[in-house]
Structure 1
Amino acid sequence: MAAPRALQPCRGLPLLLGARRLSGRAAASEPLRQRFLRYLCSRFYDIESLVDWSAKLHFKNLRRKNAYCGYTRNLYGDNIAAAYFALSLHGGVRFQGQERWFRAERHGTFNSDFLQFRDVPVEAIDLAGSVVNYHGLDNLVKLTALKSLDLSRCPNVDEWALSRLHVFAETLEELSLAGCPQVTERGLACLQQLENLRRLDLSHLPAVPCQGLLRILVEEMLPGCEVVGLDSGAQTSQAEEVPA
Structure 2
Amino acid sequence: MSEAVRWLQQCRAFPHLLCVRRPYSSATSPDPLKGGILQYLCNWFYDIEYLVGWSTKLRYRNLRRKNAYYGHTKEIYGDNVAAAYFVLSNRGRVRFQGQETWFCADRRGKYSSDFLQLRDVPVVAIDLSGSVLSYDGLDNLVKLTALRSLDLSRCPHVDDWTLSRLHVFKDSLEELSLAGCPQVTDRGLACLHQLEHLRRLDLSHLPSVPTPGLIQILVEEMLPQCEVVGLAPDSGAQMSRDGREEPGVPSGARRAGEIPA
Q: Please report the TM-score for the alignment, with normalisation by the length of structure 1.
A: 0.80
Residue 50 of structure 1, CA deviation: 0.8
Residue 196 of structure 1, CA deviation: 0.3
Residues 201-220 of structure 1 aligned to structure 2 (within 5 Å): 201-220=202-221
1:142-164, CA deviations, whole angstroms, 9 ceiling, x for partnerless residues? 00100000000000000100000
**Residue of structure 1 equivalent to 2:171:** 170
Larger relative helix fraction: 1
The residue identity in structure 1 corresponding to 2:172 is T
The residue identity in structure 2 corresponding to 1:176 is S
When residues 217 and 26 of structure 1 are mapped into structure 2, their CA distance, relative to the original with a 3 A threshold, is: closer
Residue 113 of structure 1, CA deviation: 0.9
**Residue of structure 1 equivalent to 2:128:** 127
Aligned mates of 2:209, 2:41 — CA distance in 1: 37
Residues 63-212 of structure 1 aligned to structure 2 (within 5 Å): 63-212=64-213
Matched position secondary structure for 1:152 = coil
Aligned mates of 1:51, 1:184 — CA distance in 2: 28
Q: Please report the TM-score for the alignment, with normalisation by the length of structure 2.
A: 0.75
Aligned mates of 1:68, 1:220 — CA distance in 2: 36
Deviates more, 1:223-232 or 1:193-202: 223-232
Aligned mates of 1:41, 1:160 — CA distance in 2: 40
Aligned mates of 1:164, 1:122 — CA distance in 2: 18
Deviates more, 1:62-71 or 1:104-113: 104-113
1:121-151, CA deviations, whole angstroms, 9 ceiling, x for partnerless residues? 0000000000000000000000010000000
- Which structure has the larger Rg? 1
Residue 27 of structure 1, CA deviation: 2.6
Residue 111 of structure 1, CA deviation: 1.8
Aligned mates of 1:64, 1:26 — CA distance in 2: 47
Aligned mates of 2:111, 2:143 — CA distance in 1: 23
Residue 108 of structure 1, CA deviation: 1.2
1:53-83, CA deviations, whole angstroms, 9 ceiling, x for partnerless residues? 1100110110010000001100100000000
Aligned mates of 1:232, 1:186 — CA distance in 2: 20
Matched position secondary structure for 1:43 = helix
* Shift >3 Å, 4+ stretches: 38-42, 232-236
Aligned mates of 1:215, 1:188 — CA distance in 2: 10
Tell me the matched-pair count: 209
Residue 110 of structure 1, CA deviation: 1.2
The residue identity in structure 1 corresponding to 2:158 is V
**Residue of structure 2 equivalent to 1:55:** 56
**Residue of structure 1 equivalent to 2:248:** none
Residue 42 of structure 1, CA deviation: 4.8
Among 19, 22, 27, the residue aligned to 2:16: 27
Residue segments in structure 1 that go unaligned for 5+ positions in a row: 1-24, 31-37
Matched position secondary structure for 1:200 = strand
Aligned mates of 2:166, 2:87 — CA distance in 1: 16
Residue 219 of structure 1, CA deviation: 0.2
Residue 40 of structure 1, CA deviation: 7.1
1:161-219, CA deviations, whole angstroms, 9 ceiling, x for partnerless residues? 00000000010000000000000000000000001000000000000110011000000
Residue 43 of structure 1, CA deviation: 1.1
CA RMSD of aligned residues (A): 2.6
When residues 43 and 81 of structure 1 are mapped into structure 2, their CA distance, relative to the original with a 3 A threshold, is: same
